[in-house]
Amino acid sequence: MSIARCEGVVQIYRAQDVEVVALRDVDLVVDEGETVALLGPSGAGKTTLLWLLAGLLRPSAGRVWINGSDLGSLDQRKLDRVRAANLGVVLQNPGRNLIPYLTAAQNVAFAQRGLRRDRRRVGDLLDRVGLGDIRDSPAGRMSGGEQQRLAVAVALANRPRLLLADEPTSQLDGESGRAVVELIRQAAEQEGTTAVVVTHDKAVSDGLSRTVTIRDGRVGSEGRRGENLVVVGREGAVQVPPEYHHLLPPGSRARIEPLADGVVLRRVEG
């Protein structure tokens, strides 16, 4: 079963007189138990897609489902309920995920919400991200990297069905980064938490079960088990990956030669 789904999602930001098309016709299905790395260059639309999945932004067009609920059809109260019941979110700016005057332990406990407080889980999560020793320090006084690790613990506090994390290891060294990936993997294996993780870090994407690469607002390719496949878009569009731009540069012309099971693109000079 799919826990998250996007169909024909378009996101256009309007600022003063300019329009920025951040996502164009994105289709994506995330199945339960998957751990997906969302990759792509800066400005590709990764954060935008994460915010749409998190219900923090409504798409300009298209639909987003979380655990079977069409987010666009919900009023704010129902949307909040679906989010609380299903999602753990780590925003790109680590400080924004935390309540600065509460301690690390209080932040995690607070995120368990109305559910039975589970002190053991609070301690366990903090230990696993390496913050056990500073569990009583206020979040606002922690370093960016500590806040980032705390944000992941907070997002997992409530055993969410879907973890949405935006570059959760960008300020971490190799060792803390690995601890965060391990925590995400164990949440998937032991608690069935599906994860979508935006990352530039190959060590993170290698640790997850699938990659989805966004370029210029479209899903360009998807990978599993080390093999990366281009995705044929709605209009038949295919993105030639950058590593082949020297053979088929953007703007060049190509002849399409059909085969029994696909086509070959051959550059035509002039």
Ligand X SMILES: Nc1ncnc2c1ncn2[C@@H]1O[C@H](COP(=O)(O)OP(=O)(O)OP(=O)(O)O)[C@@H](O)[C@H]1O
Q: Which residues bind Mg ion (CB under 5 A)?
A: 47
> Hey, CA dihedral for 151, 156, 158, 164, is it positive or negative?
positive
Q: Which is nearer to ligand X, 48 or 158 (CB)?
A: 48
Choosing among Mg ion, ligand X, none, which partner's interface includes residue 13 (Cβ < 5 to 8 Å by kind)? ligand X
Cβ 46 to Mg ion shortest distance, Å: 5
Q: List interacting residues with ligand X (CB under 6 A).
A: 13, 15, 20, 22, 40, 42-48
Choosing among Mg ion, ligand X, none, which partner's interface includes residue 192 (Cβ < 5 to 8 Å by kind)? none
Choosing among ligand X, Mg ion, none, which partner's interface includes residue 15 (Cβ < 5 to 8 Å by kind)? ligand X
Q: Which is nearer to Mg ion, 69 or 213 (CB)?
A: 213
Residue nearest to Mg ion (CB): 47
> Which tokens hold the place of 113?
């919400």
Cβ 166 to Mg ion shortest distance, Å: 6
Helices 144-156 and 174-191, axial angle in degrees (round to 10): 0
Cα 72–chain centre separation: 20
Q: Which is nearer to Mg ion, 47 or 213 (CB)?
A: 47
Q: Which is nearer to ligand X, 23 or 154 (CB)?
A: 23
Cβ 55 to Mg ion shortest distance, Å: 17
Choosing among Mg ion, ligand X, none, which partner's interface includes residue 76 (Cβ < 5 to 8 Å by kind)? none
Cβ 15 to ligand X shortest distance, Å: 5
Q: Which is nearer to ligand X, 62 or 122 (CB)?
A: 62
Cβ 220 to ligand X shortest distance, Å: 12
Bridge partners (DSSP) of residue 253 are 268
